[in-house]
Chain A
Amino acid sequence: MSSHIICRASRRVLSWVLHFAPARSRDWGVAMLAELDVIDHPVESLNWSLGCLAIILREAVVNACLGVCRDAGFWIMAKEEGSGIRSLRIAAVVMLLATLGFFIAPSFRQAMSIAADTLDGAPWARSGSGEKSLDQARINAERQRDAKMLAYVAVHEERIELAQESADHAVAIDPQWTWIYYVLAYRDMAGDPRRAPAPQFARWIENLHRWDPQNAVTYFLEAERLVHAMHLDRNAKQKVLENKAWMEIMARGFDAPKYNSYFQQGFNLDRDIARQRGSTNPLRFTVGVVAHPLPPNLIWAVQYERFVLSSTKNPSDLMQQAQLVAAFGERMMAADTDFEQIIGHKIALDGYKKLQQVAAPADQALITARVTQLESMRVEQMQAYRIATGITNAFITNAVIVQVCFILIVIAAVTVAVSAGFSVFRNAKGSRKINLIFYGAVGIMLVACIVAFVAYLPYSDLVTQAMDPQTPVKVGGPLLLNFLSFTVAPRLLLFGAPARVYVWPYLWIVVLTALSLLALWLVLRQFRRPGPQPHLR
């Protein structure tokens, strides 16, 4: 036995570490320590003890990681020959059951369904309820005279004749659904602008005027139809503003005491039907929210107000026009969507600023106060926009994680099925490689399920809030719009994205993948180790 200080130190350290070594590796540690006694060379002694320490450390890590698993029942097989493989099979069954357990959770199924629907980034094609589903709903609704369902079919049916038929039937049963003609008329214009209007267009507008005579949006539809009929290409603005019929209709729209683009009615209809059908795909609902038509010519409304505010120098006429514009802007600011509110804000501010120039001194203070208020609101809007952008980026992060996990789950599930099939049909049960692939895929599938479930939690919370009938439309609509981050993610993946959006998801994915692979490696290593060695004692 060498008395060199390094040899003695190596021996001391190794004997000390052996006290903390897992029981299964302690005997081997003693065996290695015994060899150290015959090594005289200091460097060799140090190398030997370092190798031993590495083994003990590795065993300790494996033990720590798998302690829970062993406690969960792996001890059952510990006394048997070939216990490792049996234990691994039980572990795989447990992991598969846990994976299936995730699919029982509605929010997890929802996450997978949305990830599948948005992988190509274009859920719009599948956003409707499907023609067959709508046909069935229409037939049932007609039989039961269910006006709400007929209105829903009319709003979502892309075949215009069927949509028209359902709309007429719904309105005949209950006139409160007359607003769906607004959707049909808008949709008729959303196609090719040079196409002649649908024969029913005039009747839809007439019905809307009769049912909701004070609403500005019907006039805007009419005005837009005139713009379409002009077949504009160049100098569009000038041609439109010179069109007397268009100017008259817009004047009536600005003068109308009410502004309602029926967003609330559309949202409530979709939400009620989604709840009634027990829909588990909020993306369809979201697309419905997004697709709800806003008056098509809001930008023309801005052009109109600028024109009327600059078309006269007569103070009395100017004041009258400015009052009309400001009042219309105020009505539009009370709308349910951000876009309408922003345009309304702009129109109102223009109107009040013009009023400041011509109003009587007695009214100046009041007008100035409102202008100041509106300008501060613009700052608030910008701040809210920045916050919303941050939230959207955070949601995109989660959407990417869910989508990547979905892909991993699909690949892992296919791998599990193929390797299991290979094992059974090719009689390759003993193949180490097949086993490795099978158990690895099962582990990755479980890890991906856990990660996807956690990443989708904020979304499932959004769905709960948005689907609650107590949640106002102004809150519910923007909440659901966050689901569009699922449609953004694949496009960003394909066409590049700012690093700030993707750095965290990528890091997460790399870390989780590394951790899951490490865990699997440790599991597999563990089962290659022997059990306790009675003959060494």
Chain B
Amino acid sequence: MGNGIRMSRQTVAVLVSLLAEPTSWRYGYDLSRETGLKSGTLYPILIRLTADSWLKTRWEEAEPGRPPRHMYRLTTNGLHQARQFVAEAKARGFVPQLAPEGSRA
């Protein structure tokens, strides 16, 4: 487990959401909708996960008239760590509650 990742419901929720589609690149806003986390909570978690190399990031190709969006995906190491982290979290009772379909951040 990375030293910089603190176990919290919010972190577990983000990881569960990322683990749901580990090979896809995800947008911040989509993660926010899925987890029900506000941007002020979500982004610090993404920053920490990136700093600990659990996540890799990239900018999408820009479309005309719209700025490029930032995307996130678990690294190979991050995938392994995240699974272990979530399993441990569940064992400790950190059950993530993802936002219901259609809810807003």
Contact = CB atoms under 8 A, between A and B. Distances in A.
Interface of A: 1, 28, 30-35, 37-39, 41, 44, 47-52, 54-55, 82, 84-85, 430, 432, 528-531, 533, 535-536
A34 B6 CA distance: 27
A187 B50 CA distance: 78
Interface string B1-23: 00110100000000000000000
A530 B48 contact: yes
Contact of A51 (B43, B47, B70): B43
B105 A37 contact: no
Nearest to B42: A51
Contacts of B56: 535
Contact of A432 (B3, B47, B104): B3
A537 to B, nearest CB: 9
A533 B51 CA distance: 8
30 contacts: A30-B70, A31-B70, A32-B39, A35-B27, A37-B67, A38-B27, A39-B29, A41-B104, A44-B104, A47-B39, A50-B40, A51-B38, A51-B40, A51-B41, A51-B42, A51-B43, A52-B43, A54-B40, A55-B44, A432-B3, A432-B6, A529-B47, A529-B51, A530-B47, A530-B48, A530-B51, A533-B57, A535-B56, A535-B58, A536-B57
Contact of B40 (A1, A33, A55, A85): A55
Contacts of A1: 65-66
Interface in B58-81: 58-59, 65-70
A34 B42 CA distance: 15
A535 B57 contact: yes
Contacts of B32: 35, 48
A38 B29 contact: yes
The 10 closest A-B pairs by CB, nearest first: A530-B51, A51-B40, A51-B39, A31-B70, A35-B29, A54-B40, A51-B38, A34-B69, A48-B39, A34-B67
Contacts of B39: 32, 35, 47-49, 51-52, 55
A1 to B, nearest CB: 7
B17 to A, nearest CB: 15
A529 B49 CA distance: 10
Contact of B67 (A33, A49, A55, A430): A33
* B interface bracket (residues with beta carbon within 8 Å of A): 20 to 34
A35 B29 CA distance: 6
A54 B57 CA distance: 22
Contacts of B6: 432
Nearest to B33: A44
B92 to A, nearest CB: 15
Given A32-B28, A35-B29, A41-B104, A47 B38 contact: yes
Contacts of B70: 30-31, 34-35, 536
Contacts of B48: 528-530
A55 B48 CA distance: 13
Nearest to A528: B4
A34 B68 contact: yes
A474 B84 CA distance: 77
A429 B57 CA distance: 31
Given A31-B69, A34-B67, 19 more contacts: A1-B65, A31-B28, A34-B70, A35-B32, A38-B69, A47-B105, A49-B39, A51-B40, A51-B41, A51-B43, A52-B39, A52-B40, A55-B39, A82-B3, A85-B3, A529-B48, A533-B57, A536-B57, A536-B70
A49 to B, nearest CB: 8
A529 to B, nearest CB: 7
Contact of B105 (A48, A531, A536): A48
Contacts of A82: 3
A1 B63 CA distance: 12
B43 A55 contact: yes
Contact of A28 (B29, B38, B47): B47
Contacts of A50: 40
Contacts of B59: 536
Contacts of B50: 530, 533
A162 B82 CA distance: 79
B36 to A, nearest CB: 12
Contacts of A41: 104
Contacts of A430: 3
A185 to B, nearest CB: 73
A35 B28 contact: yes
B69 A35 contact: yes
B19 to A, nearest CB: 21
A438 to B, nearest CB: 15
A41 B29 CA distance: 13
Nearest to A81: B53
Contact of A32 (B43, B51, B66, B104): B43
Contacts of A528: 4, 48
Nearest to A52: B39
